Structure 1
């Protein structure tokens, strides 16, 4: 199950009105030349935001920064910095390829570019981004209010320097339909439902209960593979350690869990991002969905707007994250000072963070904003019948270990999911055959990784 962010942002324009309702309250210095001829960033210690002038070219695979009003908020504070957003869709990895080729060439590139969680490690480990740990950026001092896993994902794995930051955190949990819970489980109270799914095994038993009490009409999940991110989040070891492939025991457990869910008829056999999957969000037979923070306004809110008040949110058996957007200053930029103003503003400015949370329902990467919204009515969510989802999100992020994630994850996760699908539908005969095929895919993609 790959997190398809393109699907999310294809719907952003339509989401503006819906997202707004999701949360109820909710001196100067002279630039010097580097050896490459680009302008080095200056401290700007004596400059006010209005003193910065010029144009910042930003590359992304979508128009998120515009659609979510982020550029507009930035320009209210920095009125004389023009932002030129260039969108390069990532179909067939076109965006990733464009960034790689342009950065390798060293000319004609952006000043700032975005990276999705699936490939942010690839960019940070290739020196595509400026080292933000060094002066004049000094980003390490700015991270105390950020969620730790988000900082880890933006680090270079070699020298541990910070290369990219993000304004959001994306912990995931389980969104379920209150109407189904009340009819077949006797309660729709999140606290009560939470007790029924403290472990993945309990969660599967909950599906069995729904099946029995509904005579097979209610399915626990739209598709078995909604559990894969929970399995990934529950690991104690990442996919690659010391150049060797590691298959954590939690991933082996997931094979059995996925097989059981499908064989016992606990899922609706829908594939994510298909019309059947999104359509099931407003049916009376699919209990719920494993989704991250953005899944609330941009998936449920878009595809099931009439279900307002019928959904509730609880923790998954294990904390996990799904998706997210990082950005940094291009190491080839000639506007590094200006570029840093943009990156710094949207990843550290608390006024921006709070406004973005209330306007768009985003879960912001700032612990002070999280604390404020999780402890006041500002965090109450109308779509979730007034539930303070910010409070649950804030608890979830504490259990996410960013050190588990590597630059290889996107490719290895895709290989794993592809082979699991073949096993589940019977095109792979056994777990042993599955492992052979999965390992072969890893070797084919990364010949240098040692595979037992």
Structure 2
């Protein structure tokens, strides 16, 4: 017996050694890996949400490395520059996942999705949900619940205000954020100095503790400028801020409670109109775009994306001309896009790996944030990349060196409100869009008449609903 044990000892040692090697190998594939970038963005993409050990992007298992993940996924996106940069970066880490992407205009996106579902032929694995139609998309019930397998992502990892606008009518988390869109007010420093007496962001913000103060100060600005300068360029600029400052849900099943939801915000906009502090532009028209450089408007609504697409694009010579403050009475959301996985996808693990890498991982956000200015919607992003935020962005030069993203995160995010999106939200918005130009121009139309007309239009567009 003793001889047998002696002969078996090397075999037992070899077995133990092999087990030890397997454990070490598993830990190696499941732990942090250093990237080559100088910011130490070293977590593997599978682990982007928690910034802990690299896990299998889909299942949370620590036994599968990114190189082992295989498949082909379809992505529809409208940002070709993002795709051409991000996909090669993704394939450096996931070499065996093929990404077939199609550039789709965001105005055509929802129709293309619906056509694909109807034909059963062409629906992407990764689906984007722009805010204007997000409620309709979520209502289709074609997006996977990201808090269940194979994703196991927790909404607790998101910034607190995001979960409601990333959840479907059943309360399931069906998307993550492409980039956070908390919004405040951009303002012209030269006009603020001339008509408010200061261009300092803290001092400007202190002048507007509420909207009543804003209206009264606006009357002074209009008077001092001889009517040449208004507080907002458009009725719609004021409305989109005040509407989103209230997060109370107004859709209950098929009942749309417009009177309860819009009386206060829309009433305040009508007060601004009647006080003469709103410009006559319609939002996102050539005239509205030109007003940024023209200098006849003090304030504009602005989310993080606005520095590039509204300020720099419309006022290219405006370096040092702008400032940013939180809006009176609280912050709001302005636009935004969700990123989701199609329920019918045959490659859900690969689709989730792409989403995690591009929108939440250290490596992906190294590109996404620094080259495109997008800030992840996770708490971990802001906890782990304070140095990135402190460093500022190229668009800070338009704001006299004010650190925009730091301002957004520290002074605007804490008071952001958001409400769940339904299929009726876009209907209400479309009805409003058809009516507000007349409200802006015809001062004989008051709040009650406007609400009655809006309810009538919404009822026509949603005959299945009860509109109050």
TM-score band, normalised by shorter chain: 0.7 to 0.9
* Partner in structure 2 of residue 384 of structure 1: 399
Deviations 1:111-145 (A, max 9, x none): 212111222232223221122222121122xx333
8 Å contact from structure 2 (residues 76, 103) kept in 1: yes
Pick aligned residue for 1:59 from 76, 79, 83: 76
* Partner in structure 2 of residue 176 of structure 1: 187
Pick aligned residue for 2:379 from 367, 377, 380: 367
8 Å contact from structure 2 (residues 143, 340) kept in 1: yes
8 Å contact from structure 1 (residues 235, 251) kept in 2: no
Pick aligned residue for 1:80 from 96, 113, 138: 96
Cα distance in structure 1, aligned partners of 2:213 and 2:81: 38
* Partner in structure 2 of residue 437 of structure 1: 453
* Partner in structure 1 of residue 17 of structure 2: none
Distance 1:434 1:216, change over 3 A: closer
1:315 CA displacement: 0.5
* Partner in structure 1 of residue 276 of structure 2: 265
* Partner in structure 2 of residue 253 of structure 1: 264
Pick aligned residue for 1:47 from 36, 46, 64: 64
* Partner in structure 2 of residue 146 of structure 1: 158
Distance 1:409 1:259, change over 3 A: same
Question: Matched residue of 1:326: which SS?
Answer: strand
1:44 CA displacement: 6.1
User: Does 2:302 correspond to 1:287?
Assistant: no
Range that drifts further, 308-317 or 272-281: 272-281
1:59 CA displacement: 1.5
1:149 CA displacement: 2.9
8 Å contact from structure 1 (residues 167, 353) kept in 2: no
* Partner in structure 1 of residue 149 of structure 2: 135
1:228 CA displacement: 1.3
Cα distance in structure 2, aligned partners of 1:87 and 1:440: 37
8 Å contact from structure 1 (residues 181, 187) kept in 2: yes
Question: Matched residue of 1:356: which SS?
Answer: helix
User: Does 2:361 correspond to 1:345?
Assistant: no
8 Å contact from structure 2 (residues 218, 231) kept in 1: yes
Distance 1:191 1:413, change over 3 A: same
Cα distance in structure 1, aligned partners of 2:206 and 2:333: 21
Where does structure 1 lack aligned partners over 5 or more consecutive residues?
1-40
Deviations 1:247-291 (A, max 9, x none): 365732344433343344323311222221111111232212112
8 Å contact from structure 2 (residues 130, 338) kept in 1: yes
Aligned pairs (5 A) from 1:295-334: 295-317=306-328, 318-334=330-346
Cα distance in structure 2, aligned partners of 1:264 and 1:152: 35
Cα distance in structure 2, aligned partners of 1:429 and 1:284: 29
1:430 CA displacement: 4.2
Question: Matched residue of 2:317: which SS?
Answer: helix
1:172 CA displacement: 0.9
Cα distance in structure 2, aligned partners of 1:47 and 1:290: 45
**Larger Cα Rg: Structure 1 or Structure 2?**
2
User: Does 2:131 correspond to 1:120?
Assistant: no
Cα distance in structure 2, aligned partners of 1:405 and 1:398: 21
**Alignment RMSD (CA, Å):** 2.6
Cα distance in structure 2, aligned partners of 1:232 and 1:70: 35
8 Å contact from structure 1 (residues 353, 366) kept in 2: no
1:361 CA displacement: 2.2
8 Å contact from structure 2 (residues 431, 458) kept in 1: yes
8 Å contact from structure 2 (residues 134, 421) kept in 1: no
8 Å contact from structure 1 (residues 122, 407) kept in 2: yes
User: TM-score, normalised to structure 1's length?
Assistant: 0.82
8 Å contact from structure 1 (residues 377, 388) kept in 2: yes
Distance 1:206 1:427, change over 3 A: closer
Tell me how many residue pairs correspond in the alignment. 406
1:236 CA displacement: 4.9
